Structure formats: C-alpha cells, structure tokens
Structure 1
C-alpha cells in the first residue's frame, strides 16, 4: 500500500534514531502483551502472538524484551490495553485510519484529535473513511528475500491474493488467511519483516508537495504518540515530491 510504504520513509528521514528505536520497541511490546493476554502465552498456540513476536524479531528486539512483554500479560495489576480505531481526513482530503492500543481512552482520543486539528486534518466518526478500505492481511518481505517472480510464485502457492514488489514485497491475503499464508511463506522465504491485519485503500489520492509536507507532519505527530500503533492512508506521494521533501 502506497500510503503505508511512504509512511515508513518518514521514519527513515527523521533524526534521533535511538529514540525512534525505543519507541518502536515499546509499541511492539504492547502488541505482544495484548496478544498474549487475549490467547495462550505460547506463540506456537497463539497465531496473533506468533506474528507479534516475529515482527519484534524482525526489528531486532532482544529476546529478554520479548519474554518480558509476554510475561506482563499474566501479571496481576498490569496494564489493560484496549484496541481503538480512529478515522479522519488529513490535508488534501486524504483518508487516514489510526490504530491504537491504550490504557486510557480519554487521553488517546484527546491526543489524536489534537494531532489532526493542529496539522490540517479533521477527526471523523467511526466508519467515515474505513468504507474506502479493504480489511486484509499484509505480509512484508525485504527486497533481498527474492526477485519479484520468486516471491509472486511463492505467494500464489501459499494462497495469497495479490503481490506488490517495489523496494520490497507486499503480499496481500484475505484477513482470515493471514496466519496460514504467513506460515507457508516462512518455509520458502524465511521470516517476514511483518505480518499483520491491514487496511488497503480501494483508491489512492496522489498528493503534491504542499499537501505532502503537511500530511507527513500529521502522520509523524500521530506516530510519535505512544498509544498509536499504526497509521494507514490512501495517499500516494510521487518519488520526485519525496525527494524534494527529503
């Protein structure tokens, strides 16, 4: 998905990489804890936890950090995170879906609303933009995993619905096939960079430099919030615009 891919470019552009790394580990840990609490604390018996652990490993999270996050699920008095989805419009009418894990709904709602309002966007009601997206499984592999033909054939054999190869590989599946396809691909391509449920836009909005600058600032602000896990959008930033902004 173009919006999600471009969003990752922002993270690479930003400074203070150590801080971003720590924030990334915090978000990954939160997902692991929630996954472990919702099912068995054993990744082999809990598909969501297995995907969360694999994502953490792909980001080089230490084993001790992963185990601590799993253990927190069974600790008395630990944080009780709630899954929350926000929908809104960014600059240029771009549709955005913000997924969060929060232990304080009021705090998170206030922060997300403020991020939208201060960066040229508007927070909408539930369902205001999600109708323009398809809920699907997304498995991501780096370019080094194989050429486009190899990845396409492996994905097709595993039961995937679509593959997009461009500086990496995005493999799209039906949402109820995510775990099955991810497991099948591991035997051929190795562990993916990530495997998760995602929002794929049905149409994309190509943005110019003026809109892209404001939009990426909004997404950056949302991503900097500890409660925000992922930001999905239907935007596409042309390469020449990204180069100017870089």
Structure 2
C-alpha cells in the first residue's frame, strides 16, 4: 500500500506539473501570436516578438509550437485581444500588478476581482500600485556562464543599469527600451541568456506573516490558473516560487 500511495503521489505531482506546463505554453503562445500580429512575423525587425520567442525558448517550449504561434499571429484570422493591467493589494497589504491578454474585458475584470476578494485582497484603481514599481528590462544568466567579474565586465561594456547576483544566477537590469539590442550584444559576449523580458521591478519589498503568506500564495495560484492572466508582479519578499513571471 505504501508503494502504491507513493506512486499515486508522484503521478499527482506530475499531473500538476503537466497542467502548469500546458497553461504556461498557452500563455507564451498567445504573447507570440499577439506580437506577430502587431509588429510582423520577423523577429529581427520586431523586438517584442524576439523577446516573446526568447522567453518561450527559456521555458523549453518546442520550436514547432513557437512557429505555429508566429504563423497564427501573422494570419488574417487571428483573434483580437486586449492588453490590460490590473492593480490591487493582496493579504498583508502586498502590492500586486496583473497583466492580461483577453478577448473579453468584462470577464477578465470580474474574474480577477473575485480572486482578490476571495483571498483577502482588493482590486484598486489604475496607478494606485504602479508607482511602487519600475518598468525595466531584465536579462538573466546562470552562474555557470562564468565568474561575477566576467559578467560585471560585460554589463559595464553594454551600459546596463545594475546587476544582482545569487548562488544560481545573475540578473542584469537595463532600460526596457534598450532590452532587445542589449540582449543581442550580451548574447554575442556571453551566449544565450536564461531569460529575457520586460518586467515590473518593485522599488521596495515587504514581508508578511506566515498566515498572510499562505493566503497570498492561494491568490497567486488562482491568478496564474486564469487563462487571461499573462504575468503577475508583486513586492512580496520571496526566495522561491514556481511561476517564472512572478517577482
């Protein structure tokens, strides 16, 4: 029975991982399609598409999935989506930004408002949370790429704004307008990055009680499970979380 229970637990975890991977690929595909529709199917002349493809590759999305999404966006029959940012506060006063791509504004707004209320938070007006974040470009490299001295030299050479380090990776911060060209230059020097994206970087981070943290995690999970939600950003002090677009 013990072995059987262990097998069931493993399969349950695998099922959760597969479901998350499927949702993540769907969100990445949507961003690639929108980028292709707005700026054209050539990533060399479409910085947004280039970044979307880089992000998909960093999550090991298959090449055929990426090309299918590009083709879909370039076709005349691709859906119309609205890009919307929602702002609010989670348990413990944590600031949260939610980026969505949706074909139905009312559905998205209603769903996201419900998630906030159900998990001890509240949505707020546009701008009430955004001032707590800076819009920046972010390029991440694994520490396996080389020494901190080597990375710092490259960062200074390309004129990035800042660099943060931990035992697993280097995070290079730059102006979001320069992200595409800077990532290309760094790729020539250091090789392909672990991830390249435009992000909302919190100016300050906050800590909350364990009780509030548990409730906050449930809010994050509810938001991430929504098909319309593309990215979630927060000023919550956290070391690890399974969603790559939550900071």
Category of TM-score, reference length = shorter chain: 0.7 to 0.9
**How far apart are 1:49 and its partner, in Å?**
0.5
> Are 2:216 and 1:215 aligned?
yes
Within 2, Cα distance between the matches of 1:153 and 1:15? 43
Q: SS in structure 2 opposite 1:88? A: strand
Q: Does 1:86 align with 2:86?
A: yes
Q: Deviation above 6 Å: which 4+ runs of structure 1?
A: none
In the aligned structure 1, how far is the partner of 2:174 from the partner of 2:117? Answer: 34
For 1:238 and 1:208, the matched residues in 2 are separated by 15
Which residue is equivalent to 1:181?
Answer: 182
The within-5 A match list for 1:143-182 is: 143-166=143-166, 167-182=168-183
Question: Which residue number in structure 2 is paired with residue 35 of structure 1?
Answer: 35
Counterparts of 2:157 and 2:111, CA distance in 1: 43
Measure, in 2, the Cα distance between the counterparts of 1:84 and 1:147.
40
In the superposition, the TM-score normalised over structure 2's length comes to 0.87
Contact (CA 8 Å) 2:50, 2:180: kept in 1 or not?
no
Distance 1:208 1:148 in 2: 34
Greater CA drift, 82-91 or 202-211: 202-211
The structure with more radius of gyration: 2
Q: TM-score, normalised by structure 1?
A: 0.87
Query: For 1:208 and 1:144, how far apart are their aligned partners in 2?
Result: 35
Q: Distance in 1 between matches of 2:111 and 2:146?
A: 41
Distance (Å, rounded) in 2 between the aligned partners of 1:214 and 1:206:
13
Q: In the alignment, which residue of structure 1 is the partner of 2:47?
A: 47
Deviates more, 1:31-40 or 1:205-214: 205-214
Unaligned runs of 5+ in 1: 1-12, 240-246
Segments of 5+ residues of structure 2 without an aligned counterpart are 1-12, 241-247
Residue deviations 1:68-90, cap 9 Å, x none?
10111132332111111000000
Paired residues, number: 227
Q: Give me the whole-angstrom Cα distance separating, in 1, the residues matched to 2:194 and 2:99.
A: 19
